[in-house]
Chains A and B, each alone.
Chain A
């Protein structure tokens, strides 16, 4: 067994950077199982959700061509952008909360980069074998066997990436139609492009770039320290217990040899997907995947030493200072998170699936009718965002003597339909005391009086 730096082999390819290829060794244990179930759940959801149906449409569909988002029974319109913004703010606070609690939980278990890389590593292992075989294969000259193994691996990766790209586009274009046109070779140019783009990004990031994405491209890795404090759970090597490190026989008494508990097997370095040595302390490259915790516990078990030489702990705890997980910071993040989520849910519950836009005719401020009334012209847009069709009544108010004349009597809109109606407002000049008035347009569904919106429009009269 060599020194730790020997454990990371030189890469034969300098395509992306002068960097040493990392061959993460397979690891088993509690945290590996957690990540395994995380990968299954998240990717399972990702590949399954576009195929779900709901009420005759795709359950989750961000229908960009139609400018509508369907999420189960809810339909969102560009006007509902505020919900997306709120959702992103909540996601940011959730990230703060979990980072302050236990470091880079997101990176280690849930980040798409980690999740897809993990699957690509599985495929690599199925084809090329374990870490040692992979290193040997890469060092060997290009012979028939190597060519077969490498091309099998890349074919697997590419197929998986293509499926990933197809699924991704399936969130934006109905996936059944997409599948049908794929089979008939009638895919649109932009669908084709985005399938290839996303597929290639998956292949490149999970197959080639891997830890370099985390180290060079991820902004979160750079500002994570702002969310850490001395009570944050991080993965640490217990220096006091481990040092001085050194190999020894299983039967040997480390005290007699003057050694700590670290047997210097370098397995923690071999399993690390970013190729660092956790025994050098907390490093920004550490994505908190806990592979080193799992593998070290296994070794400690074999040596019949106590587990946890590398473990989730806090900076305070490792220096013998009492450490608290529940600290003010956690409560602040937690309450903000709860408050924002509740506000979002509440506003979604009271959200009216009806909108009225009033566009004033810009060509003329006003005109006088034959009867001597002052008239303004508007275009009204009724957007029925509900799942059912509705018939509506429209009235006007706000000032005395207001008369509304619609070009269309029957205001009927199917689910998701936008209807446009020219409208005229007439007022007797006797009621007009000033130039401008705000008038109210009141739109009510005939079958449900609670489904009502009131919009203000400007009425302009003559200068007195």
Chain B
């Protein structure tokens, strides 16, 4: 990471992970639940009953977890790895 990049405020680092993932999770939730009814999914897969509100909400948080993990991993792998294991 360049010096300039390391200097970015913490709020920017946190926002860079949580915010884009929030937006894409929202889009994914809309697309997914437009096509699939959560009650039908639960009925077909035999997980028991659930209200649709709960289905949408849980679905959204699963998507957010996935998208934010992916954002966080991207940030993590952007770190240069030249120094790993080297004696300083």
Contact = CB atoms under 8 A, between A and B. Distances in A.
Contact of A65 (B10, B15, B53): B53
A78 B19 contact: no
B52 to A, nearest CB: 5
A64 interface: yes
Given A17-B10, A19-B9, A64-B52, A194 B15 contact: no
Contacts of A81: 34
A388 to B, nearest CB: 26
B57 A193 contact: yes
B43 interface: no
Interface string B3-30: 0000001111001100110000000000
A17 B10 CA distance: 6
A48 B79 CA distance: 49
A216 B56 contact: no
Nearest to B16: A216
Contacts of A19: 9, 11
A18 interface: yes
A190 B9 contact: no
B37 interface: yes
A216 B19 CA distance: 10
B11 to A, nearest CB: 4
A19 B20 CA distance: 22
B34 A216 contact: no
> Interface on chain B toward A: helix, strand, loop, or mixed SS?
helix
Nearest to A188: B53
Q: How large is the interface on B (under 10, 10 to 19, 20 to 34, 35 or more residues)?
A: 10 to 19
A64 B34 contact: no
A191 to B, nearest CB: 7
Contact of B37 (A18, A67, A209): A67
A18 B53 contact: no
A19 B8 CA distance: 11
A19 B51 CA distance: 43
A112 B37 CA distance: 30
B54 interface: yes
A187 to B, nearest CB: 11
Nearest to A14: B10
A150 to B, nearest CB: 22
A217 interface: yes
A191 B34 contact: no
Nearest to A172: B53
Interface string A1-43: 0000000000000001111000000000000000000000000
Given A65-B52, A67-B37, A216 B9 contact: yes
B16 to A, nearest CB: 8
Given A78-B34, A194-B57, A16 B11 contact: yes
Contacts of A16: 10-11
Contacts of B35: 78
A316 interface: no
B15 to A, nearest CB: 5
Contacts of B20: 219
Given A67-B37, A81-B34, A17 B54 contact: no
B12 A17 contact: yes
A216 B12 CA distance: 5
Tell which of B9, B11, B35, B56 has the most Cβ of chain A within 10 Å: B11
A67 B52 CA distance: 9
Contacts of A217: 15, 19
A212 interface: yes
A190 B57 contact: yes
Contacts of A193: 57
Contact of A17 (B11, B34, B37): B11
Interface in A172-230: 173, 188-191, 193-194, 209, 212, 216-217, 219
Interface string A44-86: 0000000000000000000011010000000000100100000
A67 B51 CA distance: 12
Given A17-B10, A18-B9, A78-B34, A216 B53 contact: no
A17 B51 contact: no
Contact of A190 (B10, B15, B16, B54): B54
Contacts of A17: 9-12
Interface in B35-88: 35, 37, 51-54, 56-57
8 contacts: A18-B9, A67-B37, A188-B53, A190-B57, A193-B57, A216-B12, A216-B15, A216-B16
Interface of B: 9-12, 15-16, 19-20, 34-35, 37, 51-54, 56-57
Given A18-B10, A217-B19, 13 more contacts: A64-B56, A65-B52, A67-B37, A78-B34, A81-B34, A188-B51, A188-B53, A189-B54, A190-B53, A190-B57, A191-B53, A212-B11, A217-B15
Closest 8 CB pairs of A and B: A17-B11, A17-B9, A190-B53, A216-B12, A16-B11, A65-B52, A217-B15, A216-B15
